Amino acid sequence: MPSERPSVVVTRRLPQVVETRMSELFDVELREDDAPMSRDALVAAMQRADVLVPTITDTIDQGVLAQAGDRLKLIASFGAGVDHIDVATARQRGILVSNTPGAVTEDTADMTLALILAVTRRMPEGLALMQAGRWTGWAPTALLGGRVGGRRLGILGMGRIGQAVARRAKAFGMQIHYHNRKRLRPEIETELEATYWESLDQMVSRMDVISVNCPHTPSTFHLMNARRLKLMKPSAVIVNTSRGEVIDENALTRMLRTGEIAGAGLDVFEHGTDINPRLRELHNVVLLPHMGSATLEGRVEQGEKVIINIKTFADGHRPPDLVVPSML
C-alpha cells in the first residue's frame, strides 16, 4: 500500500456509524448524495483510490477494469453478491475482491418467510381493501388463503440463506426439500429434516412453494425458465429474494396472468427497476423494492466487514472475505 492510511472511495451512502469509523481509519472519500455513480465517475474513482467500496448498483466489468489504472489494489464490495464484478479480470489485473458474506443472512431469510406468508395468506389484497375503505366486516369465506403448515417447500440454493429459510420454514411446519449444486452433509440434512433432489425438474413439479435463494451466475441465469415454470403445480407459489435474473420474468408474468401459477412474492427483478408493467397489475403477486436485507443491524454489520477487509489488507494480510474466481 502507498501509505499507512489507504485512500478509499465509497460509491454510495452508508450508515453514519460506518462512515464515521471509516473516516477515523482511512483517507476516505464519501458521497454527499445517494445516487449511483455514472460509469465515468466510477472509472475516475478507481483511478484515484487504493481501495474502492462499491455496492450491487455499480457494474464493474472488464471495460471498467481496463481503465482502472495501476493504483487500485482492492475492491471491498459492500454486499455478499459479486455478480456485478468481473472477479476473474480483477484478479488478472492484480486487484483483489472482497465481499461481506453472512451479514444479512437472517434478515433475508426473514423476508423470504414474510413473502411466503404474504402470498399464501393474501395479505396485499386485505391491505388494499382496508386502505380503500371498502372493508364491511368479517365473513366466513372472505379472502381465504392457504395454510403454510404441511406444505412442501422447495429451496433452490441451500447456502447460508437457504438453510436459514429452511430453519424458519421448519418451525412453521413446512416440509423442507432442496436442490443445490452440492448435496449438504448428512448431519445438516438431518438437522433441517431436508430432502435432497438431484433433479431440479422433479423437485419443482412436486412443490407447493419454491424459494429462490441461489446467486446469479451464468449457470443460474433463467434457471427458472418458461419450461421449468410450467412444471410447477397450478396451486404453487414462487418467492425470490436472491437475484431477479434467475427467473424468466416475462414467462412468470404470463403464467401468473393465466393462472398457471397461483402466486409470487418478488423482492428482486430481472431488469432492476424496469419491472414488467403487467406484473404490477396482478393481485396474486407481492412486489417489494429489494428490501430483503434492509435492516440497520445488517447494514452496519456489512460495513464492519468492509472495514475489517480493508484494514487487514492495509496491514499486509489477506482480507478475511477474499473472493476468488473458483468460489463463483
Q: Tens digits of per-residue pLDDT, 19-59? A: 999 999 999 999 998 999 999 999 999 999 999 999 999 99
Residue 277 in this model has a pLDDT that exceeds 70 = yes
CA 48 to chain centre: 30
Q: Please name the residue that has the C-alpha cell 489477506.
A: 318
pLDDT confidence tier of residue 1, bands split at 50, 70 and 90: very low
- The answer to whether 72 and 49 are in contact (CB under 8 A) is yes
Question: Quick one: CA torsion of 62, 67, 68, 69, rounded to 10 degrees?
Answer: 130
pLDDT confidence tier of residue 326, bands split at 50, 70 and 90: low
Exposure letters 231-260 (e unless 16+ CB within 10 A, then b)? bbeeebbbbbbbbbbbbbbebbbbbbeeeb
d(CA 88, CA 227): 32
Q: Please name the residue that has the C-alpha cell 466510477.
A: 42
Per-residue pLDDT reduced to its tens digit, 50-59: 999 999 999 9
For residue 187, give the C-alpha cell: 448431519
Q: Compute CA distances 2 → 50, 51, 318, whole Å.
A: 8, 11, 17
For residue 7, give the C-alpha cell: 485512500
Q: Please name the residue that has the C-alpha cell 481509519.
A: 25
For residue 189, give the C-alpha cell: 440434512
- Check: CATH 3.40.50.720 for 7-103+295-327? yes
The DSSP bridge partners found for residue 60 are 85
Residue 177 in this model has a pLDDT that exceeds 70 = yes
* pTM to 2 decimal places: 0.91
Region 153-171: mean pLDDT is 98
Residue 2 in this model has a pLDDT that exceeds 60 = no
Contacts of 11 (CB under 8 A, 6+ apart): 31, 36, 37, 42, 45, 52, 53, 54, 55, 57, 58
Per-residue pLDDT reduced to its tens digit, 204-228: 999 999 999 999 889 999 999 999 9
Percent of the chain with pLDDT over 90: 95
CA angle 134, 289, 269 (to 5 degrees): 115
For residue 323, give the C-alpha cell: 473472493
Classified as helix, coil or strand, 265 is strand
Residue 186 in this model has a pLDDT that exceeds 80 = yes
Whether the domain at 7-103+295-327 and the domain at 105-287 fall into the same CATH topology: yes
Residue 71 in this model has a pLDDT that exceeds 70 = yes
Label residue 326 exposed, middle or buried (CB < 10 Å: 0-12, 13-18, 19+). Answer: exposed
pLDDT at res. 50: 97
Question: In what side-by-side order are the strands of the sheet with 322-323?
Answer: 27-29, 7-10, 51-53, 74-76, 96-98, 322-323
pLDDT at res. 325: 74
pLDDT at res. 232: 98
Q: Which fold has domain 105-287?
A: Rossmann fold (3.40.50)
Region 168-190: mean pLDDT is 98
Domain ranges across the chain: 7-103+295-327, 105-287
